[in-house]
Amino acid sequence: MIQFVPGPPPEVVAQAIAHREFAALHFTGSTFVFKKLWKDIAVNIDKYRSYPRIVGETGAHFISGALRENADCASGVPIGGKNFHVIHKSAEIRNAVLQSVRAAFEYQGQKCSALSRLYVSASVWNGGFKDQFLGEIAKIKVGPPQDFTNFMGPVMCASIATIALALLTSLQWQACACQDHRVHSKGKRRRWRDPNWRKLCVIFLRHLFL
């Protein structure tokens, strides 16, 4: 039997890891959190009935032109463990636009396969992709999941929303000082005072150096 247990991740995971019957961890997320979970499991190794199996897919963060692990989400951009699209000049633009929007914003982008990087040549971007892409994002309806006409709901918890807002604020500040860096905001804000609701944004880098 597989049971889905939603809730605050630290509390739910702590209960599972502390249990005598704990047998396995399959994790997708940051390197920092994965290392912490591994250490917590090691502390409890004597109480388990068997040796837990541990599998992890982790990412890193891009900060100030450098690739660093264990980075704070509030000051970096995740570049590992995520999906990316490369839009070639031979692509059918309309299809590429729609698939990119769905990949990026379905489930509020809270899935390991969410589109987080989109590589588009200048000729394709300026040849219609940009206008269609931002236009489709502007149409996205955000609201309570009980209303099935909404494409997106809130992010999963206030702490994640706070991290996202801090990152966006940092990027907007950098955009003011860098001509190669812009933040496109689309869509109407909903309940802006509630940290779980955020405006949809696309971060544009004219030149990418990794």
Give yes or no: 57 in active site: yes
Backbone angles phi, psi at 47, to 5 degrees: -90, -15
> Whole-angstrom Cα distance, residue 198 to residue 43?
38
DSSP 84-149: EEEE-TTS-HHHHHHHHHHHHHGGGG-STT-EEEEEE-HHHIIIIIHHHHHHHHHH--B--TTSTT
CA distance linking residue 113 with residue 133, whole number of Å: 19
Contacts of 71 (CB under 8 A, 6+ apart): 32, 60, 61, 63
Active-site residue identified among 69, 112, 157, 178: 112
Query: Residue 206, SS3?
Result: coil
> Which of 57, 69, 157, 178 does the annotation list as catalytic?
57
Give the residue numbers marked as catalytic: 57, 112
